Amino acid sequence: MPVIKAIGVQYCTLQCPDLDIQEQFLLHFGMHTVEKTDDVLIMRGDGPQPFIEVCKKGEKKFLGATYVASSMEDLEKISKTDAFSDVEELKTPGGGYISRGKDLEGIGVDVCFGIKDRDDYQALVPQSSNEGGQINRINERKRYVKGAPPSIVRFGHYGINVNDIPAALEWYNEHLGIIATDKLYAGDPKNPDTPLMGIFARLDKGLEPADHHTIFWLPAMLSEGKPGLNHVSFEMLQIDDVLRGHEILQRNKEEFDYELEWGVGRHYQGAQVFDYWRSPFKQTHEHQTDGDYFDNTIPPNDVNVTEDGLESDGPGPSQWGPDINFDTFGDSRNG
């Protein structure tokens, strides 16, 4: 039995050497500044959360993700385990409480409870679409403001490179109730010699649907054996927002030193429309939307990734969109 079952992720925490540069990148990415001091930058999206990314000033590093407990009792419960600290009161916007922990490979895993939604949140409503003969928008014009930042709903998931993927699944299951969705194999999953390439895992919210993945473990061989960030990912309001985000980052990439890592395309596992960009510090941030949802009745699925896509592409291509670049995706530049 897991200690608790987390019900969401609230925000991610990164560390990078220049907060002005990070702020400019995140503004182009679609976030808004909430607070900025010499030491810390706090950014929000357009969803109800008071913030979705925290950046501390320092050497480039991924400090971790903050999960949400379903009650104060659960937060107390996790805080009593060896890997987690006593509960502290949060001083960040929205208040609340936190217990700070580290996973088996030293990556930060915090759990919070009671962070209040922001007062000025205005309900996000996607513009309706007229597709496939289904007329949802009549006597109404679809309009986006050219060049305006895309709408980010929330911090959606993250990927980390680890040395022991099965052990990571076990640890996150034991502490947070996380369950495997898709286990990726570079060949026949039934052959015990086939290497495991990664596991997508989701929250166990019972019969309530959960994102296909909240966490994705990839092999640390991508980053020369060093555990750390693969990417942080933000859910966009709709597909237009992924494409609008792409346009803005593309337009500013030379001047501000942004780098397109992979996109735009649609994933196989999870099915999101995705677009991955490197900040000037090379920490990969993903825009995505329209992902799959599963409740906890769906068992883990073993995937032979070599069967995905065209034979010529190699493993892990997109359903449509450009090929992944395995020489760079998840490399040690993420920190």
Minimum CB separation of residue 222 from Fe ion in Å reads 14
Site string (249-288) toward Fe ion, x via CB under 5 A: -------------------------------------x--
**Nearest CA-CA partner of 244 in 278, 287, 290, 279:** 287
- Ramachandran region of residue 271, left (φ > 0), alpha (ψ -120 to 50) or beta? left
Q: Which two tokens stand for residue 50?
A: 């008071």
Taking the least distance from each CB to Fe ion, the nearer of 275 and 286 is 286
In Å, how far from its chain's centre is CA 89?
25
Residue type, 154: R
**Nearest CA-CA partner of 113 in 8, 21, 15:** 8
Minimum CB separation of residue 273 from Fe ion in Å reads 11
Taking the least distance from each CB to Fe ion, the nearer of 261 and 286 is 286
**Using rule CB under 5 A, residue 230 touches Fe ion:** no
Taking the least distance from each CB to Fe ion, the nearer of 52 and 69 is 52
Minimum CB separation of residue 233 from Fe ion in Å reads 4
Minimum CB separation of residue 286 from Fe ion in Å reads 5
**Using rule CB under 5 A, residue 10 touches Fe ion:** no
Stretch that binds Fe ion, among 227-235, 257-265, 313-321, 325-333 (CB under 5 A): 227-235
Q: How far apart are CA 260 and CA 246, in angstroms?
A: 9
Residue type, 244: R
Stretch that binds Fe ion, among 79-87, 183-191, 230-238, 291-299 (CB under 5 A): 230-238
Peptide bond preceding 68: is omega within 30 degrees of 0, i.e. cis?
A: no
Return the residue nearest Fe ion (CB atom).
233
**Using rule CB under 5 A, residue 233 touches Fe ion:** yes
3-class DSSP state of 255: helix
Minimum CB separation of residue 260 from Fe ion in Å reads 15
Rule CB under 5 A: which of 79-98 touch Fe ion? none
By the criterion CB under 5 A, which residues form the site for Fe ion? Answer: 233, 286
